[in-house]
Amino acid sequence: MYKVVSLFSGCGGADQGMLGGFEFNGIQYEKLPFSLVYALDVDNKALNTHRLNFDCDKVVCGDICDIDTSDIPDHDVLVGGFPCQSFSTVNPTKDPFDDRANLYKQMVRVVKEKQPKVFIAENVKGLLTLHKGSIIARVIRSFEDAGYVVKKELIRCADYGVPQRRERVIIVGVRKDINKEYSYPDAPNENNWVPLSVAVTELAIDDKKYYFSEKAVQGMKNAKNNMKRGLAQKLDEPSLTVTSHLAKVSLNSRDPVLLVDPEKELYRRFTPKEAARIQSFPDTFQFAGSEADAYRQIGNAIPPVMFWHIAKSILPVLE
């Protein structure tokens, strides 16, 4: 078994993908030869969910900046979706590498000092073009300087069986002395996307708390920018990207919603179970805390099915 350390682990979307051994959309994703030896996040509510679902040797709630590398066990694979919100696109004169943006450097620090065979980092699509590509170049150079051959790829999650148009940058580094070339996995669903209907089995549900009020619908209709209506999702296509904003989804925003009845103008948000399925979590996955907690954890997660393909693709490098 290859030992895995998970940084910025959240509720464990990437970790579920690493371990495998789950079912989604009638497909069994085989158990992979990985074991979780350490998981770290600043959000204890998310870690409560992690604890419910995984047998991890050590789960730590804390800031990576305060963690001594010696406290992290030796491992074969380091996984982490380092937060990206402090890379500012609003103010182009702002230093994109201020203290709040140094979390990728913390992952580099662990990689440099622990020297795992492989690391996998995940981030948003915008990282590729932010500051005209200078940020992603700097991130990759930092990992290269730590002793790794590094590749990056923009992954469309829908191409890998996730019913969502989520796009993410996956950065993979292989330690130079291993001398094996990594290849990203082929996309099994590139021409056969999984539709939203996989996640939403019944459009109309009885619980009215998920429905938008008539006032909200009228507000959307009267908005000067009427493109909002276009965010009602089609069940025969993948959903638009769900985010941590799921608990506060609005008809006057860029959030995907469901149009239950066009004639009655009934709209509703996704239920937590639907949102989890959109992210490709198996129905057996349990979320701790309130519905709002679950929504936030789901929206912040890495889709397990997509990450399973990434995890499996690094095995030839490790063997």
Catalytic residues: 84
Distance, CA of 175 to CA of 178 (rounded, Å): 6
Q: How far is CA 56 from CA 5, 96, 199, 230, 262, in A?
A: 10, 34, 28, 42, 47
Phi, psi of 221 (to 5 degrees): -65, -35
Strands 266-268 and 258-261: what pairing? antiparallel
Distance, CA of 39 to CA of 231 (rounded, Å): 36
Coil, strand, or helix at residue 175? strand
Distance, CA of 271 to CA of 209 (rounded, Å): 10
Name 123's bridge partners.
169
Distance, CA of 83 to CA of 81 (rounded, Å): 6
Residue 10: closest CA among 273, 311, 288: 288
Name 259's bridge partners.
267
Buried b (16+ CB within 10 A) or exposed e, 4-34: bbbbbbbbbbbbbbbbbebebeeeebeebeb
